[in-house]
Structure 1
């Protein structure tokens, strides 16, 4: 999808044609749309479509007549029939008069600008616009990280009798998401560091202050990711220990039951041997069977008491 926006008097509106100071938004563009933008702004089409490759890493390239900035942004996907988080590339191309964004899907980062939720936003102030996009990216990372930690807390509250194997799987998914976030945030940090050094990109003092804020927010997101990864790792180890301990308790009870049930089996096996009944106690007694059953019951009860005192049950 190809859309053109421009701000006049701090009010954004959609346009039909390319104009100076406009923002060109490409969302999962077709080859024809990519070719149209490439010819209109004299840009290599491979740079326009670079953000459509999910394997592209964050980077900044200074080309003749334009600058390509690639960063990773957070998004959601369905994995194992549940909503999880991942990252996708966002391409930002700076030309002398325009700014172009390319992404494979609609993202709330850019929707905030279209829906007029960002103050002091102007498509004509390109570098400030870029830094505002990067600031919203870091803020969205932090927001998603808080949601991930909330999910982790909900799982942790179920630790105990309600712990299930699916909770371990969910924790593994959260931990995998944090790995993706950590990798993307570090790569974005490298891009931000390079942006602060390049002299070719004209920057005003206010823009530099905003870039400093973006770097701080990105670093904070990196630290949050590291902290939450450690917490999730500890929670996962705790849940594994709880499940293992529960299994050990079950095996212990089964062992005790087996030992108790072995008592009547042994006694009945002895009395079932083909020997002379004169050598068997109570073999000829009128109530011999009842007496033997009573003795077996007493021995089983004594065995249970002993195992209880030894904390074997």
Structure 2
């Protein structure tokens, strides 16, 4: 295996078809697959020294904000698609997307990505599944599209499960933590929806055969990838609408709960102010009823309680308590 090291981790791998198996090799011949993961400037220059690949084709996929697209220049084809990137921050889970670059040059396939991804790890773990793909670059690329769409679907189902869990927690207690979790999932669906639509445009352009020659068998694989991608788009839209409606509903519930609390506190304040008002009146240094009566205190307290009770009864009838 030819590989360059970055902090002890492999960032470049060269694979080639040998009969029915995929083997690591050192020579860059037609039918090779070069996998670059978070390469440094020196490592990119090393690849350019061994292959006449355009520098910008190698650097574009390393920009996290790069959008999905396809370019062809000097007999080189660059395809950029977006793939899911789950990020865990304590108890919070949010999903974003990162670009995956696929470069086709002289029959050699180069993949460039900012970080290791499950998508390519699945290809490595199932070497037998790669059998026959490296001999046909179009089939290899379309299988990446298919796996990317399947990966989006997998994470969308996870988002659906997380939404159900957070909803159950919110039924028990309306806390900010659960609302922030739902907000993170809502943002994740926005990333997914945008990236899936961009990937769909790239695959639709590839169907024309202008960039990569397509056989009938490979066209079937691309159509399968398009169907999977369309399914992911529909799921993302449905889940986004559900989550948006749920957030609006809980916002209304929280606002309604606040109004109920404020109404209750206002009612209690009015009820408590009545005895205070009576006591304040009888605290004045002027002639007042019952001031010479030995039962004045009991009469005044009884009057205050009756007045407060009457107000409580009125509030209950008006459903303010």
5+ residue gaps, structure 2: 1-10
Partners of 1:83 and 1:73 lie apart in 2 by 16
The answer to whether the 8 Å contact 1:98/1:124 transfers is: no
Q: Counterpart in 1 of 2:219?
A: 208
- What is the rounded CA distance, in whole Å, between the counterparts of 1:125 and 1:238 in structure 2? 51
Partner SS state of residue 219, structure 1: helix
Please say if residues 92 and 181 of structure 2, whose CA atoms lie closer than 8 Å, have aligned partners that are also in contact: no
Indicate whether 1:113 and 2:120 are aligned: no
1:86 equivalent in alignment to 2:110: no
Contact kept in structure 2, 1:94 and 1:100, CA below 8 Å: yes
Higher mean displacement: 69-78 or 239-248 = 69-78
Quote the residue 2:238 is aligned against. 227
Structure 2 residue aligned with 1:64: 74
Greater mean alpha carbon deviation, residues 225-234 or residues 165-174: 165-174
**Gapped regions of structure 1 (runs ≥ 5):** none
Match of 1:119, SS? Answer: helix
Q: CA deviation at 1:229?
A: 1.1
Q: CA deviation at 1:118?
A: 7.0
Which residue of the other structure, out of 134, 147, 153, is the alignment partner of 1:123?
Answer: 134
| Counterparts in 2 of 1:10 and 1:246: CA distance versus 1, 3 Å | farther
Distance 2:128 2:191 in 1: 27
- For residue 6 of structure 1, give the secondary structure of its aligned residue in structure 2: strand
Q: Are 1:138 and 1:218, in contact at CA under 8 Å, matched by a contact in 2?
A: yes
For residues 47 and 199 of structure 1, what CA distance do their matches in structure 2 show?
19
Partner of 1:194: 205
In the other structure, the counterpart of 1:237 is: 248
Q: Are residues 1:37 and 2:65 paired?
A: no
The Cα shift of 1:30 comes to 1.5
Residue of structure 2 equivalent to 1:296:
304
Residues 10 and 292 of structure 1, relative CA distance in 2, 3 Å threshold? farther
For 1:306, the equivalent position in structure 2 comes to 314
Say whether the 8 Å CA contact 2:78–2:104 is kept in structure 1. Answer: yes
> Counterparts of 1:117 and 1:267 in 2: how far apart (Å)?
88
Contact 2:31–2:135 under 8 Å retained in 1 = yes
Query: Aligned partners of 1:86, 1:118: CA distance in 2, in Å?
Result: 30
**TM-score using structure 1 length:** 0.93
Contact 2:85 2:98 in 1 (8 A): yes
Matched, 1:253 2:261: no
Could you tell me whether the CA contact under 8 Å between 2:22 and 2:127 is conserved in 1? no
Alpha-carbon shift at residue 138 of structure 1 (Å): 0.6
Q: Deviations over 1:148-182 (max 9, x none)?
A: 12222222223445112233322222221111111
Aligned CA-pair RMSD: 1.8
Deviates more, 1:153-162 or 1:109-118: 153-162
Q: Counterpart of 2:96 in 1: which secondary structure?
A: strand
